[in-house]
């Protein structure tokens, strides 16, 4: 107990903040896609997984250095994300009409499953080492962190802050916010909804690719690496709100990261993930109950 209240607690807190920033970035990108395009982009797991695999292929197959390979991985994630919107989601939504949301959801799950299966056929089902720069270890009192963890957290915070600034201060960002508020009116005013959708998918692909590259450096690359991680992105997106500022994803992601790490002191990994979903279920139940409460005016009260 003394260790839990001392050095172990500080270490878990540091780990939670690193993981939380990671979840916040993924959630901010996913919330942008869902809030603006209304596509339930479950193939986010595919763009997430494809980035480190493309970088690994560039390093292992082409002999490219790490940083150019990382750029290839990012470009791959962005390209796949945009191609999914152009070649899959948009045609499916157009044909499904009023059932577009469900049709895109089912299609997205199928595309993600098929894409990850192709990666397994090409690279195998086992984990692959992802070599890059050598990390440095730092001891900050009772806390030990690596340079990769610090740089990952900084990158994720920069991605969330950059996305918020992009939406607030650029013309295309203001177009994105207009489409998110009212796509029909935005189209009448001359804003290209299709272009805005592509921008959102490109931003989400960039964020997922950057997060996955850091994950590969910290751990390993494997075909199923996006499954549980992207689920956390959905949790953050719904808790923070798909139509709110990306900055709201930061406290939500950090909170989930801390809950996950603190719970690991008492629970196994399986149950720490369950604790996170209990939080989501409780929040959704609260919203459902709140919407059904009778509205009582102050005069009637």
- Residue 264 binned pLDDT confidence (cut-offs 50, 70, 90): confident
Beta bridge partners of 143: 140
pLDDT above 90 as % of the chain:
66
* Residue 140, SS3 per DSSP: strand
Please compute, for residue 53, the number of CA atoms within 13 A of its CA located in the half-sphere on the CB side.
Answer: 26
- Residue 2 binned pLDDT confidence (cut-offs 50, 70, 90): very low
The pLDDT of residue 149 is: 93
pLDDT tens, position by position, 122-146: 999 888 877 888 889 998 888 999 9
* CB contact at 8 A, 176 and 167: yes
* CB contact at 8 A, 247 and 161: yes
- Residue 255 binned pLDDT confidence (cut-offs 50, 70, 90): very high
Of 258, 261, 259, 237, the C-alpha closest to 248 is 237
3-state secondary structure 104-132: HHHHHHHHHHHHHHHHHHHHCCCCECCCC
pLDDT tens, position by position, 172-189: 999 999 999 999 999 999
The pLDDT of residue 140 is: 85
95 or 297: which carries more pLDDT confidence? 95
* CB contact at 8 A, 77 and 212: yes
């Amino acid at each position: 107990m003394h260790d839990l209240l001392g050095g172990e607690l500080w270490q878990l807190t540091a780990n939670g903040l690193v993981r939380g920033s990671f979840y916040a970035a993924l959630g901010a990108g996913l919330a942008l896609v869902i809030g603006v395009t209304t596509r339930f982009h479950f193939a986010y797991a595919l763009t997430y997984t494809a980035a480190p695999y493309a970088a690994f292929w560039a390093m292992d197959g082409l002999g490219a250095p790490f940083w150019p390979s990382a750029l290839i991985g990012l470009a791959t994630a962005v390209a796949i994300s945009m191609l999914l919107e152009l070649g899959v989601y948009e045609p499916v939504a157009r044909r499904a009409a009023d059932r577009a949301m469900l049709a895109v959801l089912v299609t997205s799950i199928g595309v993600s499953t098929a894409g990850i299966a192709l990666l397994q056929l090409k690279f195998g089902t086992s984990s692959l080492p992802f070599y890059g720069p050598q990390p440095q270890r730092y001891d900050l009192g009772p806390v030990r962190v690596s340079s990769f963890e610090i740089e990952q957290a900084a990158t994720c915070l920069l991605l969330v802050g950059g996305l918020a600034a992009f939406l607030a201060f650029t013309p295309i960002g203001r177009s994105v916010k207009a489409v998110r508020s009212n796509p029909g009116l935005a189209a009448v005013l001359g804003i290209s909804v299709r272009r805005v959708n592509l921008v959102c998918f490109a931003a989400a692909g960039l964020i997922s690719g950057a997060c996955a590259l850091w994950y590969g450096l910290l751990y390993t690359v494997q075909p199923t690496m996006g499954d549980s991680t992207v689920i956390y992105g959905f949790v953050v997106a719904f808790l923070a709100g798909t139509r709110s500022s990306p900055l709201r994803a930061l406290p939500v992601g950090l909170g989930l990261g801390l809950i996950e790490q603190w719970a690991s002191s008492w629970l196994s990994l399986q149950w720490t993930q369950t604790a996170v979903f209990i939080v989501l279920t409780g929040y959704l139940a609260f919203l459902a109950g709140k919407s059904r409460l009778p509205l009582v005016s102050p005069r009637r009260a």
